[in-house]
Structure 1
Amino acid sequence: MHQIENKFQKKVYEMLFVSKLLSLLFCGIIIFIQYNVHFLKNLHKYMSFSMITAMLGIGMLTLIYKIWIFSYKNNKITSKVSATDIIEIILFIGIFSILIIFSGVHTSHYKFIFLFIIIPTTMQFGINYGIGVSSICSILVLLIDYMALPRNTINIFFETDLILTGVFLLTAWSLGYYVNIEKEYRKEISQLANMDELTGVYNHRFFQEALSEKIEVSKNKKTSVALLFIDIDYFKYYNDLYGHQAGDKVLEKIGDILKNLIRKEDIVARYGGEEFAIILPNTKEEQALNIAEKIRSTIEKIEFEGEENLPNKKLTVSVGVSDFPNKAKSKEELIKASDDALYRAKFFNKNRVETYHSVLEELKKDIQQEHIDLISSVKTLISVINAKDRYTYGHTERVVIYCKMLADRLGLREEDKKILRYGAYLHDIGKIEIGKDILNKKMPLTDEEWKLLKKHPENGAEIIRAVDSLKDVIPLIFYHHERYDGNGYPKGLKGEEIPYLARILTVADSFDAMTSNRPYQSRKSFEDAIEELRRCSKSQFDPKIVDVFIEIIEKNIDKFDRMR
């Protein structure tokens, strides 16, 4: 919509430019005609006052023309009146007045030239300024008539000039009225094009344009832009339970709540489905978190019809928060970061606010400077994997949580905890080499496809091998699919031969795989997954690690179950 508006403004500017050029042309004609008259009458006086006046007039008009050309090339036009605009209007009124006096005072035939300042002023600034300028021009015309002749002399031009001033005022009023109608119409069309009809907030297209604009402003002014992504918890469940009409009422109500909670400068939009986005200009992450929490807690306290039948007995929202340029360096990164934060909030209990956090950002502090760019490349690869297989992101985040709790319970050294956390985050990076059709296939994999999938630990280790600072993480990536009985891959290691941290990662990774929905299998309950761990203890998993992990899960089963 901004592009259409800019195109329209450019066309208006072209009209104004032509109008002003015509005024210069008429000024030049008047000067030329009057100079010729004076020149022929005073042929012997080449440096007469008239000649000097003509030269000055043409020089001034040339200067104005150059200024306009520069302004036009830079496309600087607004509907707001600046000091430069006022000076330009006064200058033109002055020039036109001088030309009328120069061409015969009250007998001049060129008084209509004031229309060339009345029309563009009205077109650009509206009816009020148009009426104001036309009134000044009318007063000047009548004042010239009044001052030109003695009081007792009848001025035969006065009646004609009264009609002319009426034309000035009528032109300004009618054109200004049309401009106002056109502006209102464009505003309504813009609202229809930019607003989401159901919720009354801005739509996805406007959100994208506004975010680009706010980020540009942020870059220029060295400020921050925060972004909130808001998703209604269990909304699909609510829709299935009560129907889409009831769901639409919820969306409409939440749209109203968000509009009432945001600040004047903030922008709330419906991002899609049950998801909303709020742009917070000149806002850092800490402020954004406070705003997000206020939104979450307000919605939690409001009663919605039928919410008592939802899994958590309340209709709530989850919120993801990130900011530019602290957590993201571009619009795309900001959207991705906020979306990832929202995903964390949805998986970790729902009805919560989460800020964006990347293990890779933490990792940058621990690696050599020359490898920073490689880590950024790894981050990009993980984003590509997530785009291929959305399951991978949630899986990775949960495995990181499981590994962290296991590491604390097992009393690992801080350095080993860090290696385990990085390994949990990067263990599936080798899936970048596997096609989306295989990752999301609902039917059983063929032997060839399974052989390709089993290559991802080796692929991942090869990717990370270039980063010397991550050499201790490579065994976790390479061996996380080995089995305690030696029947795993890629090397078929057995028991204590498998690195200890890799054995921890295997338990956490397998448990989450069992309790997650995949294209080819439905998720197991936590109780069933625990029984599967017990059954496969000593065969697939290290029994000591399994015992500790089951103890952790059983103590936190309600919390972990809400992560789904």
Structure 2
Amino acid sequence: MMHIEDKRQQKIYEIVSIVRLASLLFSGIIIFAHFFNDGTTIIYSNEKYFSSLSVGLSICIMVLIFGLWSFSSKRNLLMKHFKSAQTIENLVFILIFSILIVISGANTSQYKFLFLFIIITSTIQAGIKQGIILASVSSLIVLSIDLAYAGSESVNKNFENDLILIGVFMLTAWPLGYYVKVENEYREKLSHLANIDGLTQVYNHRYFHDSLKNELKKARSSGYPLSIILMDIDYFKHYNDLYGHQAGDEILKNIAMILKRNVRKEDIVARYGGEEFAVILPNTTEKEAVSIAEVIRRDVEQTKFPGEENQPNGRITASIGISTFPHKAQNEVELIKSADDALYRAKFFNKNRVESYYSILEELKKDIEAEHIDLITSIKTLISVINAKDRYTYGHTERVVMYCRLISDKLGLNDVDKKTLKYGAYLHDIGKINIAKEILIKRMPLTKDEWETLKQHPANGVEIIKNVDSLKKVIPLILHHHERYDGRGYPGGLKGDEIPYLARILTVVDSFDAMTSNRPYNTRKTYDEAVEELKRCSGGQFDPVIAQAFIEVIQENKDKLDII
């Protein structure tokens, strides 16, 4: 919609420029008619010839300069953002027309209608107010010339005649200006309908993307940060299922009101889709965005909604993700994706919380050799491709990283091992880039050949990072996270302590999340069911000590964890 409005303004500038250019050409004709027509001869003396040549060249140069100025993008930009530029241009034209009228007969001049050019173009461009002002100024100039050059005439015929011309000036400015006003109001109403979500009365998804592109341009040119908020209503489907979509619509309306009353005037609130809302925060740091988001979250939590007592957490709440340009993202796609990742993390940790975007890859950049820094970008791209193939892999990776952080503290790992486990958790499925999407998301049991293909992903992952010295310690985790404590795993069939310690930790965490997640080929287990499975498989699939430690982690943090 913004693009359409810009094109419309461009067309208006072009029309106005053509009319004003025509008025300059008309002015040139008046000058020639005045200076070089004495009514008796058409043959000029040398002196008059050179005089006419210089005046003609001056007019041509003036017309050429204005022509270039009229159709330049710089002129249009000035006219759009600086009203003073338009005012100066109008005054220049008024001055030119006034001089032409004086030299072509002053009060007897037949060219007083020239002011209509500037009245019409300014009214079209700026509206009724500007048109009436210019009509009044033009009228005052015309009448002043009539009075100043009237001489000793007892009856000022020119003054009387020009009163009719002044009426024409006003009647041109007022109806045309009123039409422009009505057209602008109608256009604004259509724009409002096109940009506003009909249910919540905040901006819609399309307007959000248009505005984000525009605000990113401003942020890049100014050097100021730009933050966005993505917010999702927790358990909204549950509420809709209990009370119906009409009740759910009322919740959405109230949430939109909460957002609007807690943001600043320059912020842009939009319904992003379904039960998701987005807020663009111009010139806002991550810290400031977190503060605004926390105010919104608390307001939602403290607002009383009908039927909220039957929600899983006893009230209507919202989870919020935040990202900031340029610190966390470099473009529109990265900004939205990173905010969505932060929202996902907020939903994972028991919902009703605010999370800023955090990437392990950014931390990894600090530890990796300079010559391999480009690999991080490549890894990020590979993971994005895997996510596009299989949404489960993305969520699974994020959850495994979080679980590994929790068990690292439980097991008392040193800082180096904590970091290695975290990187291994993030990269352990990177080898799936070579696995066909049909295999990753297949709902039926895999064939023998498909299973053999899937089992290659640990070795494939090692191939991707094996040349990076700073990731050497991560290789055993990627390669052996599917080994079993009883020796019946793959790819090496390692047993017991033969399996690297951190790989044994990753195996427990990886398996637990697989059991408690929705997969195409199995039914999701509850936390309690998965804990029982860990107990049953201790000493067989899992290291019993690590399995017991992880069970304790789950039981200690059960009230803080949630699965989407």
Q: TM-score range by the shorter chain?
A: over 0.9
2:126 maps to what in 1? 125
2:136 maps to what in 1? 135
Q: How far did residue 438 of structure 1 move? A: 2.5
Distance 1:24 1:2 in 2: 33
CA deviations on 1:159-188 (whole Å, 9 max, x unpaired) are: 321111110111011111111111111111
Unaligned segments of structure 2, at least 5 residues: none
Distance 1:450 1:111 in 2: 90
**Helix, strand or coil: the match of 2:559?**
helix
CA deviations on 1:352-381 (whole Å, 9 max, x unpaired) are: 000111111111111111111111111121
Cα RMSD after superposing both structures: 2.0
Distance 1:288 1:125 in 2: 38
Q: How far did residue 69 of structure 1 move? A: 1.5
Show the 5 A alignment for 1:271-282: 271-282=272-283
1:70 maps to what in 2? 69
CA contact (8 A) 2:21 2:66 kept: no
Distance 2:477 2:39 in 1: 98
Q: How far did residue 110 of structure 1 move? A: 1.3
2:254 maps to what in 1? 253
1:37 maps to what in 2? 37
2:424 maps to what in 1? 423
Show the 5 A alignment for 1:162-173: 162-173=163-174
Which amino acid in 1 is paired with 2:71? Y
The worse-fitting range, judged by mean Cα deviation, of 473-482 and 444-453 is 444-453
**Helix, strand or coil: the match of 1:37?**
coil
CA contact (8 A) 1:81 1:125 kept: no
1:208 maps to what in 2? 209
**Helix, strand or coil: the match of 2:36?**
helix
Which amino acid in 1 is paired with 2:62? L
- Tell me if 1:314 matches 2:315: yes
Q: How far did residue 232 of structure 1 move? A: 0.2
Distance 2:168 2:66 in 1: 30
Distance 1:304 1:57, change over 3 A: farther
1:106 maps to what in 2? 107
Distance 1:80 1:173, change over 3 A: farther
CA contact (8 A) 1:35 1:51 kept: no
Distance 1:402 1:327 in 2: 23
Distance 1:452 1:113 in 2: 83
- Tell me if 1:461 matches 2:462: yes
CA deviations on 1:326-376 (whole Å, 9 max, x unpaired) are: 111111111111000000000111000001111111111111111111111
2:9 maps to what in 1? 9
Q: How far did residue 258 of structure 1 move? A: 0.7
**Helix, strand or coil: the match of 2:259?**
helix
1:512 maps to what in 2? 513
Distance 2:555 2:83 in 1: 70
Distance 1:51 1:92, change over 3 A: farther
CA contact (8 A) 2:538 2:544 kept: yes
CA deviations on 1:471-497 (whole Å, 9 max, x unpaired) are: 110110111011112211112222222
CA contact (8 A) 2:36 2:52 kept: no
2:306 maps to what in 1? 305
1:23 maps to what in 2? 23
Q: How far did residue 552 of structure 1 move? A: 2.0
CA deviations on 1:73-114 (whole Å, 9 max, x unpaired) are: 316434566333222212211211121122222222211111
Q: How far did residue 56 of structure 1 move? A: 5.0
Distance 1:515 1:44 in 2: 101
Distance 1:329 1:303 in 2: 39
Distance 1:168 1:65 in 2: 28
Distance 1:357 1:502 in 2: 24
Distance 1:54 1:308, change over 3 A: farther
Distance 2:160 2:108 in 1: 12
Which amino acid in 2 is paired with 1:431? K
Q: How far did residue 13 of structure 1 move? A: 1.4
- Tell me if 1:161 matches 2:151: no
CA deviations on 1:98-144 (whole Å, 9 max, x unpaired) are: 21122222222211111111111111111111111111111221222
Distance 1:126 1:261 in 2: 35
Distance 1:292 1:220 in 2: 26
Distance 1:436 1:510 in 2: 21
Which amino acid in 2 is paired with 1:425? Y
Q: How far did residue 466 of structure 1 move? A: 3.2
Distance 1:510 1:88 in 2: 73
Which amino acid in 1 is paired with 2:126? F
Which amino acid in 2 is paired with 1:539? G
1:382 maps to what in 2? 383
Q: How far did residue 61 of structure 1 move? A: 6.3
Distance 1:425 1:177 in 2: 64
1:412 maps to what in 2? 413
Q: How far did residue 10 of structure 1 move? A: 1.6
1:392 maps to what in 2? 393
Distance 1:44 1:272, change over 3 A: closer
Q: TM-score, normalised by structure 2?
A: 0.95
The worse-fitting range, judged by mean Cα deviation, of 174-183 and 310-319 is 174-183
CA contact (8 A) 1:347 1:394 kept: no
Distance 1:55 1:350 in 2: 79
**Helix, strand or coil: the match of 2:517?**
coil
Distance 1:478 1:418, change over 3 A: same
Which amino acid in 2 is paired with 1:522? T
Distance 1:61 1:402, change over 3 A: same
2:295 maps to what in 1? 294
- Tell me if 1:335 matches 2:349: no
The worse-fitting range, judged by mean Cα deviation, of 267-276 and 78-87 is 78-87
CA contact (8 A) 2:34 2:104 kept: yes
Distance 1:395 1:80, change over 3 A: closer
CA deviations on 1:268-320 (whole Å, 9 max, x unpaired) are: 11111100110100000000000000000011000111111010001000000
Distance 2:88 2:532 in 1: 84
1:434 maps to what in 2? 435
